[in-house]
Amino acid sequence: MDFFEKLGKIDTRIIYVLFILAILIPLVSPLGLPVTVSQHTKQTYEVVNSLQPGDTVIIDIGISYSGAGDVLPQAIAVFKHLMSKDVKVIFTGVQMDSSKIIEDLIKPYEEAGKEYGVDFCNLGYLAGGENAIAAYARDLKKAYPLDFRRNSTDTLPILETVNSAKDVNMFIFFSVQNADMYVRQITEYQVPLVGGLIATIAPQAEPYLHAGQLKGMLVGLRGAAEYESMMGSPGIGLASMDAQSIAHLLIVFFIVIANISYLGTQNKTRSRKEASQ
C-alpha cells in the first residue's frame, strides 16, 4: 500500500478523536476568533428590535431535545431580547418536548420577577403539527382551553386581547423541522413572520426570506452567536463559535486529504492500465 492509499484509509476512529479534540480544546481555552454578523441576522435583529414595550408576540417552540443544541441558543437570545424590551410573549409548541423547553426558558425570568400570565405564558405542546399551527393561529383559546400549568386560558391576562395570530405584533418560530408549515399557515394573517432554524434545513427556507414571506431568519448555532453579538450579550452561541470554526477547518482538511488520496490513486491506476496495454 503506497502513501496515497494509506492516506485514503485513515482509521475513522482517529478522525473521531481528532474531531472531539478540535471541539473540546477551543471550548476549554477559547481562541477569541472574530465573529462577523450575516445580513440574515442583522435583518432579524432589526425586525425584533422594532417591537415596542407592551407589544405581544407568539413564539412557537418547534424544538425537540435532540436538535436543541443548534436552535435553543437562538430562542434563549431572542427571548432575552424580548424580555429586555418588555414585550409580552405567548409560547406555543408543536414538538412533544416544547412544554418542558418553554418552562426552562421562562424559569430564570420568573425568578427575576417577571410575572407568569402577564409577561409570558406557556400554552405548551399541541399535537397535530401543521394542523395544530392552523388551529391555534385561528383561535388560540379554542385550541388551548388550558395552558401547560393547567390554568384556563380565559383567565390569563396576556390573552385578554389576543385570540389569534392576527392579534399579535409578530410571530416567531424556532424549528428543527421546516419553515414551510409556518409560512403556509401564518402568512395569511399579515403578521411579521420570523424564523430560527436548525442549520440543516435553513437553505430550504432561503427562498421565503427572498420572497419577503419571512422577515428574518436565524441559521443554527451561528445565528444565535451573531444575534448575541448584535445584542452585546455573549451567551452559549458566541462561546461555541471557536469550536465550530476549528471543527470546520478540520473537515476541510480531511476533504483535501481525501481528494489528494483519490487523485494520487487514480493517477497510479491509470499508469498501471497504460503499462498493461
Partner 1 sequence: MSRDPVIWVSSIVTIIAFSYLFKENELYKAVEHLYVGVAAGYTLVMGYNNIVSKVWTPLTRDKNFLVLIPAILGLMLYVPYVSKQYSWVKRIPIAAIVGIGMALTARTQIMQQFVGQIKAAVGPVKNINSLIILLGTVGTLCYFLFTLRPSLPVKTGSEIGKWTIMVTLGAAFGAGIMGRISLLIDRMFLIFRDWIPLIKIR
Contact set with partner 1 (CB under 8 A): 12-13, 16, 19-20, 23-24, 27-28, 30, 66-70, 96, 99, 124-125, 127, 130-131, 134, 144-146, 150, 152, 180-181, 183-185, 187-188, 198-204, 207, 210-213, 219-222, 236, 239-240, 243-244, 247-248, 251
**Smallest gap, in angstroms, from Cβ of residue 94 to partner 1?**
12
**Smallest gap, in angstroms, from Cβ of residue 50 to partner 1?**
22
Sign of CA dihedral 218, 68, 111, 233: negative
User: Which of 157, 73, 82 lies closest to 115 in space, CA to CA?
Assistant: 157
> Is beta strand 120-125 parallel, antiparallel or unpaired with respect to 193-197?
unpaired
Q: Which is nearer to partner 1, 102 or 221 (CB)?
A: 221
**Smallest gap, in angstroms, from Cβ of residue 233 to partner 1?**
13
Phi, psi of 244 (to 5 degrees): -65, -45
The torsion defined by the Cα of 142, 144, 146 and 152, in degrees rounded to 10, comes to: -40
**Smallest gap, in angstroms, from Cβ of residue 1 to partner 1?**
23
Q: Which is nearer to partner 1, 145 or 232 (CB)?
A: 145
**Smallest gap, in angstroms, from Cβ of residue 274 to partner 1?**
31
> Do the Cβ atoms of 59 and 173 come closer than 8 Å?
yes
Q: Which is nearer to partner 1, 120 or 208 (CB)?
A: 208
Residue 237 burial (CB count, 10 A): 25
